Amino acid sequence: MGTSAIAAEIDGLRRSVEYHNHRYHVLDDPEISDADFDALFDRLVELEAGHPELVTEDSPTQRVGGAPLDQFETVVHALPMLSLDKCTNESGLEEFDERIRTRLGREDALTYTCEPKIDGVAVNLRYESGRFTLGATRGDGRKGENITSNVRTIKAIPLHLRGDDHPAVLEVRGEIYMPKAGFLAYNEAARARGEKTLVNPRNGAAGSLRQLHPKMTATRPLSMFCYGVGEIVGNWAPAAQSEVLARFKEWGLRVNPDADTVNGVEGCIAYTRRTLEVRDELPYEIDGVVVKVDELALQRELGTVTRKPRYAIAFKFPAEEASTRVLAVEFQVGRTGAITPVARLEPVFVGGVTVSNCTLHNMDEVERLGLMAGDRVLVRRAGDVIPQIVKVVGPRAKDAQRVVMPKRCPECRSEIVQLEGEVVARCSGGLYCPAQRRQAIRHFASRLAMDIEGLGDKLVEQLVDAGMVDHVGDLYRLELEQVVELERMGEKSAANLLAAIEDSKETTLERFLYSLGIREVGEATARSLARHFGTLDGIRRADEEALEGVADVGPIVARNIASFFRQSHNVEVIAALIAAGIHWPDVEVVVEEQPLMAETWVLTGSLETMTRSDAKSKLESLGAKVSGSVSARTSRVVAGPRAGSKLNKARELDVPVMDEEAFVEFLERHGVA
């Protein structure tokens, strides 16, 4: 293919990519699948890579960002970028309308253009002969920063205007912002990578545009709405703001679909009310509504005062962020035993309500924020979203106190356990803890546990609320006279419930173990424990190492079981259940002759023929315990490529080491390869 043919194909591909970018990012109406778009883009990248002399600055492939900048250059705006006067109530809008009609000498209603006030970053885009040449921040209104390289990475912004009727020079004013969905997805991915999250969509947009490396900006989910003009050189002289928005749309510039033209101040008020009602449903953050006189000739007549236009006003909605002080951090216990830190705040009005408490989710979040009791913090509440602390602000108070996870449950004083690798800490007093009693009773009575027919969620709620049942042992002390008094509980129903409770006393050890609600002990694990130890006492007295000798029981489950039986409250409830008559037949202890019984193996390095998880399962099927650390009691170490400190430790202790090839042969000999 000749150079001219390649150039023609590149030109056609660029047009196609820009067209489909426009359909996807501006119109939200794609015509082709993502895979088809990727094929077009990849072909363009391939051709440009083979012919770098044909690469142009405005090619869609250059949106990914160029070399990092040392600093941003200063840009002087051809026309100032004005800020807006503000009001916070409807009377403010009425005064604005009256003020400008008086100045214009008009008694009839004016036409206004209203649109949501995007909570983003105001920018100016310059197009020359339809080609994007400059992007700048508003700065102080007269001078801003040159962010052209970063703006090029935003796919919602066209690098070429559509059509051929645009002026020779056109400056477009608008707001670059981060959509809500993009903000949440970015933060979720950042948390998964252990990286710093963005505080809010506005700060996220501002920080993204001020990245000195455009490739960083390219990774951020940014978009833009265009709403005004700066310098115009050419034959276009729009008559109204509504016309500006219509032409922007024709030229491929993204305008807010929620903008509207209304009649009189009554129309403005109705628009602000409608917008406030749907604020939380919008896919972008807003902090109010912008109202402008629609006719541009009237705008020019009204002019500006102290760098603010007389013809426009921002109607501000209640703030969704506010600062306040953390008075203390307390710990609450959830129905599953999760321990959650909660910040007690100096009451602050934010997002339309007064907030005095704020969940901190877990201690990882406390550490991420660097939070101490006594700190001043920024609190955010959007609509019905639970309030959250987004950052610590201002200087730290001298009497600020570090937040420390308690060692004992604040409700029942049982041990708080946080397993390695888990974010959430939990109370281990599941059978006794008042915060967990409803959940514990529901589980205890469930079909696969003690199978107490008729004891459903609503009845559990009534029994607990009436003070009849504090823990599962109290179920076996219920009397007919008590139960009959409950709502919708006749004598026959009450008798049936008590009969079902009586019948549940005859059970099996594995069902009883499962009914205790020990974290991560399901039916299969309960069965394995029962068959391995034979008695409840044997399980209760087993240490973690002995528990790990049971099939299906790893270090985490072993620690859960040991922690559960260490709590005196749990032991007391179990004793009460047995005293009430719960019993089961003897269990035959199943001792399987396995070749690796009583051996402890360690896996290290990256295995190439199987995953570490598969290798662990195969060893456990042969009776081995698989440990995460090497000690003098380790029987053998399997070392794959890139094995590190564990291999060194094995050599120091003279523990036998097996490479992957020998390990696979070993498994084959034992029939588990």
Is 377 a member of any domain? Answer: yes
CB within 8 Å of 557: residues ≥ 6 apart: 520, 521, 525, 547
Are 199 and 325 contained in the same domain?
A: no
What is the reported pLDDT for 68? 46
In degrees and rounded to multiples of 5, residue 339 shows phi and psi of -95, 120
- Please state the rounded mean pLDDT for residues 29-50: 71
CATH assignment of the domain containing 33: 1.10.287.610
Are 216 and 259 contained in the same domain?
A: yes
pLDDT tens per residue, range 369-425: 899 999 999 888 765 567 888 888 888 888 899 999 999 999 888 889 887 667 888
pLDDT tens per residue, range 164-206: 899 999 999 999 999 989 988 988 888 888 777 887 788 788 8
Q: Which of 553, 569, 591 is the last residue of a domain?
A: 591
Residue 334 pLDDT greater than 90, yes or no = no
Is 69 a member of any domain? Answer: no
CA dist 630 → 222, 611, 655 (Å): 49, 20, 9
Residue 426 pLDDT greater than 80, yes or no = yes
For a pLDDT cut of 90, what percent of the chain falls above it?
Answer: 38
CA dist 144 → 59, 154, 332 (Å): 26, 19, 49
Residue 661 pLDDT greater than 80, yes or no = yes
Per the rule left: phi > 0, alpha: psi between -120 and 50, beta: everything else, 421 is: left
CB atoms within 10 A of CB 644: 10
Is 76 a member of any domain? Answer: no
Are 571 and 634 contained in the same domain?
A: no
Which candidate, 383, 336, 334, places its Cα nearest to that of 359? 334
Are 418 and 388 contained in the same domain?
A: no
Is 73 a member of any domain? Answer: no
Residue 67 pLDDT greater than 60, yes or no = no
Q: Which of 535, 565, 591 is the last residue of a domain?
A: 591
CB atoms within 10 A of CB 195: 10
CATH assignment of the domain containing 328: 2.40.50.140
Residues recognised as catalytic: 117
Are 489 and 616 contained in the same domain?
A: no
Q: What is the DSSP string of 352-364?
A: TEEEEEEE--SHH
Residue 27 pLDDT greater than 70, yes or no = no
Are 542 and 474 contained in the same domain?
A: yes
Residue 60 pLDDT greater than 80, yes or no = no
Give the total residue count for the chain: 673
> Structural domain tally of the chain?
5
- 558 close to 547: Cβ distance less than 8 angstroms: yes
SS3 state at 268: helix
- 454 close to 460: Cβ distance less than 8 angstroms: no
Lowest mean pLDDT among 30-39, 140-149, 235-244, 462-471: 30-39
| Confidence band for 24, pLDDT divided at 50, 70 and 90 | low
Are 51 and 173 contained in the same domain?
A: no
Is 475 a member of any domain? Answer: yes
- Please state the rounded mean pLDDT for residues 574-578: 93
Is 438 a member of any domain? Answer: yes
Compute, in degrees rounded to 10, the torsion defined by CA atoms 441, 443, 447, 451: -30
CA dist 295 → 15, 77, 113 (Å): 35, 24, 9
Lowest mean pLDDT among 257-266, 527-536, 636-645: 636-645
Which residue did the predictor score with more confidence, 516 or 626?
Answer: 516
The token pair at 308 is 């603010």
- 134 close to 125: Cβ distance less than 8 angstroms: yes
Q: Which of 550, 567, 591 is the last residue of a domain?
A: 591
- Please state the rounded mean pLDDT for residues 573-579: 92
Are 144 and 270 contained in the same domain?
A: yes
Is 79 a member of any domain? Answer: no
Report the C-alpha gap between 26 and 20 in whole angstroms.
10
Are 370 and 498 contained in the same domain?
A: no
Are 459 and 398 contained in the same domain?
A: no
Report the C-alpha gap between 330 and 341 in whole angstroms.
6
- Please state the rounded mean pLDDT for residues 355-369: 89
CA 157, chain centre distance (Å):
27
CATH assignment of the domain containing 183: 3.30.470.30
- 432 close to 572: Cβ distance less than 8 angstroms: yes
- Please state the rounded mean pLDDT for residues 532-540: 91
Is 466 a member of any domain? Answer: yes
- 280 close to 384: Cβ distance less than 8 angstroms: yes
Residue 527 pLDDT greater than 90, yes or no = no
What is the reported pLDDT for 626? 81
Are 573 and 611 contained in the same domain?
A: no
- 468 close to 457: Cβ distance less than 8 angstroms: no
- 202 close to 119: Cβ distance less than 8 angstroms: yes
In degrees and rounded to multiples of 5, residue 301 shows phi and psi of -65, -40
SS3 state at 509: helix
Domain that holds residue 149: 85-316
Report the C-alpha gap between 368 and 389 in whole angstroms.
11
Q: Nearest-5° angle of CA 497, CA 498, CA 501?
A: 90
pTM for the whole thing? 0.52
Q: Give the H/E segment covering residue 649.
A: helix 645-652
The token pair at 101 is 């009609």
Beta-bridge partners for 170: 127, 232
Q: Which pairing describes strands 425-427 and 338-350: parallel, antiparallel, or unpaired?
A: antiparallel
Please give the mean pLDDT across all residues of the chain: 86
For a pLDDT cut of 70, what percent of the chain falls above it?
Answer: 94
Residue 85 pLDDT greater than 90, yes or no = no
SS3 state at 298: helix
Are 107 and 187 contained in the same domain?
A: yes
Which candidate, 592, 598, 595, places its Cα nearest to that of 622? 595
Q: What is the DSSP string of 21-53?
A: HIIIIISS--SS-HHHHHHHHHHHHHHHHH-GG
